[in-house]
Amino acid sequence: MRIGVLALQGDFALHARALEKCGVEAVEVRKPSELDEVDGLIMPGGESTTLLKLIDAWDFAPALEKFHGRGRPIFGTCAGLIILAREVESPRQFSLGLIDVTVERNAYGRQRESFEASGVAKLDGGPIALEMVFIRAPRIRRVGPGVQVLAEHGGEPVMAREGRVLVATFHPELTDSTAVHRYFCELVSRSAIAP
């Protein structure tokens, strides 16, 4: 099993390291054609406006939509979530619409308002305690009927899944825990053997 990490911008190296801790080969994806070589994809945090410009410059949007259409799992954290969302607010901007959520950009404040929190995620093996790092994080303001909320902070969803698309407003790669990455790896593994 090979999982790609979109390596255009953001903290992709830390996601790759977390995948390697899970015993999975991590592949840095810099060109749309490289999506053909991976079974799943992580879209990391960073700056969503910059990430969108790079996605546009490299013509990644059609390739990402095709990747999703082939049933390949995608995990977006922070800016990656913004790119995957159905709707984006503050301000409105293009997104792929691959998960039925509405997100508000930078809703927790600027860089200096970044914070860490503890929470519980409802993953396959049951409730798991998580440390969550929020850096200029978006807020999930609306969750569609087909979306499963997997973790909350302050009564708001911070991790969710719809089908083979997983998103988080926080940065699991900035903690020592690999629980979230293991969950995604299991999702990719199940998708790889599904008909």
Gap between the Cα atoms of 60 and 130, Å rounded? 32
Cα separation, 34 vs 146, whole angstroms: 30
CA angle 40, 76, 91 (to 5 degrees): 145
* CA 193 – CA 1 distance, rounded (Å): 11
In degrees, rounded to 5, the angle at the alpha carbon of residue 81 between the alpha carbons of residues 76 and 87 is 145
Active site residue 68: no
Active site residue 78: yes
Concerning whether 22 is annotated as a catalytic residue, the answer is no
Question: Which one from 15, 68, 153, 171 is the annotated catalytic residue?
Answer: 171
Contacts of 46 (CB under 8 A, 6+ apart): 9, 10, 11, 78, 79
Token pair of 134, please? 């929020």
Closest alpha carbon to 46 in 131, 115, 136:
136
Q: Annotated catalytic residue: which of 15, 68, 162, 173?
A: 173
Among residues 68, 78, 104, 153, the one annotated as catalytic is 78
Active site residues: 78, 171, 173
